[in-house]
């Protein structure tokens, strides 16, 4: 009967055929070890199991997973997610980077084989490798989004539960003082000075600054394109004060030198290293922070204070910029437009309050109370 499905033979292997929602499905009968079945009774048993799944779908108890869905890999789901991000303007460099990292870890695995237990094992593996919870969560977010998109599109019937790790206490508290910034700049290669100064002034991310070209400037306004922004939104930066000075210096440094000889070639990137985009400079950064620590100690800074510089990250410049804008009285909504923070909660994580801030607040409060009582 049409509603009961049937088995048939192809060579030595039995296949099954059945209908659901007017569509005919065929697939080879397989045993519990996923091996093809060449016995009619075993094939009938496999068909009955499939028909139970079909019946469960028909009464709405459980969505049916098609044979095509069972062949999908996680890599296939990631392809779909990346295309979706491109269409919605969410394909930021960071998002694409995390998609590639997940693809490396999971790409060749069958999507139907991913269970909550395997997700948890993956989390444990990353924690054991000293990955931070926030970094692991970004990967888990990609995995969950890929499965959810496939389910919404009807490609998959269901996906695994993907937990999220707590990030309480995970936020870095590092930021620069003006003296620390000056000390690090003193020991960085000259072609990175303006790059670092621009980051300290705007709070823009390293990848965002590296993407800036002269075509992004119109008049005295620089526009970060949405596709180069982590949050996918374009933002405008007026070039005033120090920023205008930085851009003026970059114009003078636009020429490319070949074998020690200046050429007529001009670089399209605002910040470049002799014509090449600014890429990773971890070694130069690590060396500069260590030398800055030594020079500060020689200058009379307490060793425990100077040693903090050796652990600074480039990303701490983002916290420095946010903190500077807040202390300068810049409204939060405006500061968020400059730094590119999309939510107030994330902005608050970057607006670091240290003991000195608290001490200043208490002194101000005490002065206020004395003024009121007098």
Average pLDDT of span 175-198:
92
Average pLDDT of span 2-29:
84
| Strands in the chain per DSSP E | 6-10, 13-20, 23-28, 217-218, 221-224, 235-238, 255-258, 261-266, 272-273, 276-277
**β-bridge mates for residue 259, sequence order:** none
Angle 41-44-49 (CA atoms, 0-180°, nearest 5)?
130
- Taking the C-alpha atoms of residue 225 and residue 199, their distance in angstroms, rounded to an integer, is 17
pLDDT of 324 higher than 90: no
For 257-299, the pLDDT digits (tens) are 887 777 888 999 999 998 888 988 989 999 999 999 999 999 9
Per-residue pLDDT, 353: 56
Number of residues written out for the chain: 374
pLDDT of 170 higher than 60: no
pLDDT of 349 higher than 70: no
The pair of structure tokens assigned to 190 is 């000259």
Q: Whole-structure pTM over 0.85, yes or no? A: no
Average pLDDT of span 162-171:
75
Domain positions in the chain are 2-64, 74-152, 178-358
Q: Which residue has the higher pLDDT, 175 or 129?
A: 129
Per-residue pLDDT, 234: 87
Angle 298-299-301 (CA atoms, 0-180°, nearest 5)?
95
Alpha-carbon distances, residue 366 vs 328, 329, 370 (angstroms): 22, 21, 6
Least confident of 64-73, 75-84, 129-138: 64-73
pLDDT of 355 higher than 60: no
Per-residue pLDDT, 213: 95
- In which band, very low, low, confident or very high, does the pLDDT at 134 lie, cut at 50, 70 and 90? confident
pLDDT of 332 higher than 90: no
Average pLDDT of the chain is 85
For 237-255, the pLDDT digits (tens) are 899 889 999 999 999 999 8
Superfamily of domain 178-358: Intergrase catalytic core (1.10.443.10)
């Amino acid at each position: 009967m049409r509603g009961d499905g049937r088995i048939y033979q192809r060579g030595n292997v039995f296949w099954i055929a059945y209908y659901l929602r007017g569509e005919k499905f065929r697939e080879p009968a397989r045993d519990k070890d996923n091996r093809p079945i060449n016995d009619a009774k075993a094939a009938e048993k496999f068909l009955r199991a499939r028909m139970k799944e079909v019946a469960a779908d028909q009464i709405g108890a459980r969505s049916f997973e098609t044979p095509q869905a069972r062949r999908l890999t996680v890599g296939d789901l990631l392809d779909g997610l990346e295309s979706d991000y491109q269409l919605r303007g969410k394909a930021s460099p960071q998002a694409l980077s995390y998609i590639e990292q997940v693809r490396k870890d999971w790409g060749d695995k069958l999507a139907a084989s991913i269970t909550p237990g395997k997700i948890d094992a993956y989390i444990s593996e990353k924690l054991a490798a000293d990955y931070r919870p926030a970094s692991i969560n970004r990967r888990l977010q990609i995995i969950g989004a890929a499965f959810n998109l496939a389910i919404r599109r009807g490609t998959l019937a269901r996906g695994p539960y993907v937990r999220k790790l707590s990030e309480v206490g995970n936020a870095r508290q590092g930021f620069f003082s003006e003296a620390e910034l000056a000390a690090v700049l003193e020991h960085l290669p000259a072609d990175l000075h303006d790059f670092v100064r621009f980051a300290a002034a705007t709070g823009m991310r390293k990848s965002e600054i590296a993407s800036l070209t002269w075509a992004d400037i119109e008049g005295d306004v620089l526009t970060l394109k949405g596709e180069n922004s982590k949050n996918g939104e374009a933002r405008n930066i007026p070039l005033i004060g120090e920023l205008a000075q930085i851009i003026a210096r970059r114009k003078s440094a636009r020429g490319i030198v070949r074998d020690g000889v200046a050429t007529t070639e001009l670089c399209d990137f605002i910040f470049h290293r002799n014509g090449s985009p600014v890429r990773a400079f971890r070694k130069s950064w690590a060396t500069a922070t260590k030398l800055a620590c030594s020079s500060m100690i020689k200058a009379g800074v307490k060793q425990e204070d100077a040693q903090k510089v050796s652990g600074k990250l480039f990303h701490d410049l983002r916290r420095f910029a946010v903190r500077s804008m807040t202390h300068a009285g810049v409204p939060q909504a405006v500061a968020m437009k400059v730094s590119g923070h999309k939510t107030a909660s994330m902005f608050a994580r970057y607006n670091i309050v240290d003991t000195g801030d608290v001490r200043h607040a208490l002194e101000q409060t005490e002065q206020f109370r004395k003024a009121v009582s007098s």
